[in-house]
A = this chain, B = another copy of it.
Amino acid sequence: MADTVTGLELRSKVTSAGKLELSLEPVTLEAPGDDEVIVRVQAAPINPSDLGLLIGPADVASMVAGGTADRPTLTLDVPAERMGMLKARIDQSLPVGNEGAGEVIAAGANVTDLLGKTVGMLGGAMYTQVRKLPAKDCVPLKDGQTAADGASMFVNPLTALGFVETMRMEGHTAIVHTAAASNLGQMLNRICIADGVPLVNVVRSAEQADILRAIGATHIVDSTAPDFRDALTDAIAETVATIAFDAIGGGKLGGQILGAMEAAASRSAAEYSRYGSTTFKQLYIYGALDTGPTVLNRNFGFSWAVSGWLLTPFMGKAGREVVGRMRGRVVDELTTTFASNYTRTIGLAEALNPDVLAAYNRKATGEKYLIDPSR
């Protein structure tokens, strides 16, 4: 029998009794197959998309801590009205963490060249001390690059590049982005500056505007400023942006962006049309920082669409060649265009500390947590 590798893994379970339980569970990995590797995970980011699986439906205010110092647990209430949409995950202990990076500590016969290398990984279940996965889901980092450098090389970089690809595929020439001072938003600015794509950044504070100004963003509008609507319309008129990507989802902001696009289009309209302008306006909702309802006042005619946007189906539609080009660019520009900033690094057990969880669950723009399970 082959040697085995053991470690702890973070799990999230919704019980049929309406509780969400977070815990660290032991995992034992058999030796890797011929095309597999085992990685000691050293860095895995907490993305908003991870929080959906980790905590999503539960009421954070109801958090109760338990377990031991090494293996803490947290139990949260799930409001009854949210249980319906969780049917497919009831009583399943689910691993969490979309992406991460670490050192290859075991490699199958066909991939021994990876042994000892630091690699970035995509594939889920990354909030774990040891992870076995196909070598093809690993990207070796360059000399001098750390696990922290490679931890976020998939979700944010490919999403930001995906926005620009979507813009081109659908015939638009400029973009509006919300929550624009996020790590993702900063990457998008660097891409758009390099590619000459006009970008309108919508932020929620003067501090966030400063972050973007410092990296060279030109069009920045603050949704908390009294002249927000006029400033947004001016920026859209100047850039001729007709596609928007919205991380927030809930509330009126998405509809306000479509309204500003319509107002910008109407400035140049010669003739009255009761159905609004013929300019097609697209709003993509790709996140849910506000899980409340989306409210559309529909003061933007009939030539518009609001749609969900997700990375995986986009990559399926874009095809292998486009995705290959995107991934190549991420590797080439990992520590420049696609550099991430983490405000705090925590261990696996710390991730289940009530105060720490409350902090990273706020999803405050500019704050970003990294888990280092090897701590």
Contacts and interface: CB of A to CB of B under 8 A. Distances in A.
A313 B278 contact: yes
Contacts of A288: 298
A102 interface: no
Contacts of A309: 302
Mostly helix, strand, loop or mixed at chain A's interface? mixed
Contacts of A302: 285-286, 308-310
Interface in A242-274: 249-250, 255, 263, 266, 269-274
Interface stretch (A64-72, A86-94, A155-163, A210-218): A86-94
Q: How large is the interface on A (under 10, 10 to 19, 20 to 34, 35 or more residues)?
A: 35 or more
B308 A301 contact: yes
A88 B272 contact: yes
A304 B284 CA distance: 10
Given A295-B293, A296-B293, A88 B278 contact: no
Contacts of A108: none
A310 B275 contact: yes
B313 A266 contact: no
A291 to B, nearest CB: 8
A306 interface: yes
A336 interface: no
